[in-house]
Amino acid sequence: MGKPTGFLEFTRELPKKRDPQERIHDYKEIEVPFSEQDSQRQAARCMDCGTPFCHSGCPLGNIIPEFNDAVYEQNWAYAYEILSSTNNFPEFTGRICPAPCEASCVLGINKPPVAIEFIEKSIAEVAFAQGYVTPKPPKERTGKQIAVIGSGPAGLAAAAQLNKAGHTVTVFERADQIGGLLRYGIPDFKLEKWTIDRRLAVMEAEGITFKTGVNVGVDIKANALLDQFDLVMLTGGSTVPRDLPIPGRNLKGIYPAMEFLSQQNKRNASLPVEVDHQGAKYGDGELLATNKNVVVIGGGDTGSDCVGTSNRHGAASVTQIELMPMPPKDRAENTPWPNWPMMLRTSTSHEEGCDRHWSINTKEFIGDENGNLKAMRIVDLTWKNENGRMQMVELPGSERDIPCELALLAAGFLHPQHNGLLDDLGVEYDERGNVKATNYQSTVNPKVFAAGDMRRGQSLVVWAISEGREAARAADCYLMGETMLEAKAVSMIAVE
Ligand SMILES: Cc1cc2nc3c(=O)[nH]c(=O)nc-3n(C[C@H](O)[C@H](O)[C@H](O)COP(=O)(O)OP(=O)(O)OC[C@H]3O[C@@H](n4cnc5c(N)ncnc54)[C@H](O)[C@@H]3O)c2cc1C
Ligand code: SF4
């Protein structure tokens, strides 16, 4: 433990954010860098608890008290060694993880928790700046060929671990760039894309091959894949968006959030936006919120990313509506410490300007004579608890139309795309339509493994990395009969 009195002397501090009025004119990161001294002061607050709940709050089992101590001692090389032993990509989680570890920090019982996420980002950034992040190719190759399908955080983590175990790994990605939702989905103002390129350069130098623009199942058929590779790791994500099939859905001006967000990622990268991130041609060309009344349907993180992007486009107004009731401002009683708290969350995008409304249902999209969206018919709801099940009831007389020329559907994803590769491989699906696997191994073909959102359902980057690492361990065991890849400490606290 670095400083026994640190938690009494210092309070929680986070990096400063750029002024909303300034930052809505660009797509650069919102937080200004945390100095090494700021990180050291935060690390000094860690109490090195006998039972570190933060450690099990992290889906990766990050060894938080130990890296906090190393940061307090300003031993950044050792801090990175500890952090990278459980997390392949702390530069991503240090920026965009919702930090369930902090929700279970013991200091959080009666004081603000340790700023773990930002310490993690500092360790990663110091490590890259000081040259501690170097390619570490395996000393020997096993001769086994592995295909990883999908290059999101799950695929990248699996590839890194399987390569470390000595296997020869090829990552296939149907988009024109590697990164999955890190690249096309999560806005640049949350995660600038040079962070992905920097990591990919290390992975390539370690011997991993990346192939973009390859839609596996179409460009390489399932049978050919099974013939050519000793093992197939499916990490294709959860890509089928939840639609809103109500009257007027076919009007021009209603789009899934991902189409809107990934176009902006492409624009930022100076790439053509007329084809989507999956390589298909857009029906309606460029989607811009400029001068439009935008309504984002769905109150979650994807919706919040649409809010931030719409404000950057210069929307006339931005409204976000959600079916469920407004969560409590503080931790709900049914999610006590150290659980992930159910509570109202205000993102940096909300701070930039947005009308937020809860308990609202959308009944109809209304168009003009040219088939363009011009309004939405909405209604207020009350929620009744009937035998433990929440039932929504429309509030009589509350139906009204609100102006809207751009509606963004951000109500989540159903499951991975079944037709094509998955159906051709003959994989089984669980009750939610995700790939069914036992210990990450498909229930129908022992050569086929699955991880990330494709197996788990829509989740978080930290879970995708965890799944990729665990699936790689299971795959290595299957191929070699044993594994030298690190096992993770069991995470006890669930957060989606
Ligand atoms: C808008 C948005 C914002 C988010 N923000 C956050 C956040 O701030 N923090 C957080 O923790 N999580 C966030 N998430 C969730 C997080 O991004 C996902 O949980 C995570 O990326 C899942 O990783 P994955 O590797 O399983 O899949 P993905 O990242 O979805 O990657 C799957 C990849 O597989 C490719 N693929 C699929 N099928 C094929 C095929 N047949 N052939 C070749 N390639 C294929 C896809 O093109 C895709 O690139 C966000 C999600 C969205 C949509
Ligand atoms: S990955 Fe997320 S949960 Fe784990 S230590 Fe980092 S911020 Fe916390």
pLDDT in tens, 3-47: 889 999 999 999 999 999 999 999 999 999 888 999 999 999 999
Which pLDDT tens digit goes with each residue over 153-190? 999 999 999 999 999 999 999 999 999 999 999 999 99
Whether 494 has a pLDDT exceeding 60, the answer reads no
Tokens of 137: 């190719």
Domain spans in the chain, listed from the N-terminal domain onward: 5-130, 145-239+414-480, 245-411
CATH fold of 145-239+414-480 reads FAD/NAD(P)-binding domain (3.50.50)
Closest-approaching ligand to the CA atom of 422: 1
Identify which ligand lies nearest to the alpha carbon of 82.
Answer: 2
Burial class (CB in 10 A: 0-12, 13-18, 19+), 334: exposed
- 452 CB within 6 A, ligand 2: no
46 Cα–ligand 2 center, Å: 15
* pTM, two decimal places: 0.96
Q: Is the pLDDT of residue 495 over 60?
A: no
Residue 468 has pLDDT above 90, yes or no: yes
CA torsion through residues 464, 237, 115, 87, sign:
positive
Instruction: Answer whether 360 contacts ligand 1 (Cβ < 6 A).
Output: no
pLDDT score at 280: 60
Give 464 Cα–ligand 1 centroid separation in angstroms.
8
Q: Closest Cα to residue 356, out of 302, 304, 408?
A: 304
Is domain 245-411 in CATH 3.50.50.60, yes or no? yes
Above pLDDT 70, what percent of the chain? 97
Q: By mean pLDDT, which of 90-99, 180-189, 200-209, 389-398 is the weakest?
A: 389-398
State how far the Cα of 30 lies from the Cα of 27, in Å rounded to an integer. Answer: 8
Q: In angstroms, rounded to a whole number, what is the distance separating the alpha carbons of residues 101 and 90?
A: 14
The CATH class of 5-130 is mainly alpha
Q: Which of 266-280, 282-296, 470-484 has the lowest mean pLDDT?
A: 266-280
Kindly identify the ligand whose nearest atom is closest to the C-alpha of 151.
Answer: 1
Q: Compute the distance from residue 447 Cα to the ligand 2 centre, in Å.
A: 31
**Helical axes 76-84 vs 64-72, angle rounded to 10°:** 170
Q: What is the pLDDT of residue 284?
A: 72
Q: What is the pLDDT of residue 492?
A: 47
427 Cβ inside 6 Å of ligand 2: no
* 237 C-alpha to ligand 1 centroid (Å): 5
Contact 293, 316 (CB under 8 A): yes
Check pocket membership of 410 for ligand 1, CB cut-off 6 A.
no
Which residue is it, tokens 């190719």?
Answer: 137
Q: Do the first three CATH levels of 5-130 and 145-239+414-480 match, i.e. the same topology? A: no
217 lines ligand 1 (CB under 6 A): yes
Q: Residue 149: enclosing H or E segment and its boundaries?
A: strand 145-149
Mean of the per-residue pLDDT values of the chain? 94
| Predicted confidence (pLDDT) at residue 385 exceeds the cutoff of 90 | no
Poorest-confidence range of 43-47, 120-124, 329-333?
329-333
Quickly tell me which residue has 């962070």 as its tokens: 195
